Amino acid sequence: MLSLFPSLLDFGLFAPTLLRLVAGLIFIDLGYLVLTSEKSSWDWLCNAMGLKPSIFWRKLLGYVEIIGGILLIAGLYTQGAALALTILVLTELLIEYKEPTFVKRDLAFYVLLLVITLSLLLTGPGLIAFDLPL
């Protein structure tokens, strides 16, 4: 079947760019929440999982999400950042599935972030990025 708008296919490299920018902003916000308003929940979870000291692991999670978000926005080491964030999102998805009252985010939110990070891992950064395809 023919595409309805074949001329738009010329702009295909903008799609990963848009996904990268939006995901980067979301991860910066999530990291900020882990470090500020949700810190008691994350400390409790780290203690429950046996990750002690919980403050260290919570801060590590928050900073990894913030730095990963910045790397996505810049388009720098995009696939590495996407891999790390994919692992984090998958972990948070499983936590939210087992304990839905923990951070009160919808599973669809995590599934969407998981698909975006997997897409960036497979397709690369798109246009306007420091990464160059080999």
The answer as to whether 5 is a domain residue is no
Question: In whole angstroms, what separates CA 58 from the centre of its chain?
Answer: 16
Residue among 38, 20, 22, 18 nearest 92 (CA): 38
Q: Residues 4-21: pLDDT tens digits?
A: 998 988 898 899 999 999
CA distances from 58 to 1, 90, 101, 129 (A): 50, 17, 18, 30
Q: Which domain holds residue 107?
A: 15-123
Percent of the chain with pLDDT over 90: 68
* Whether residue 133 has pLDDT greater than 80: no
Q: Residues 17-50: pLDDT tens digits?
A: 999 999 999 999 999 999 999 989 899 888 888 8
The answer as to whether 88 is a domain residue is yes
pTM summary value: 0.92
The answer as to whether 134 is a domain residue is no
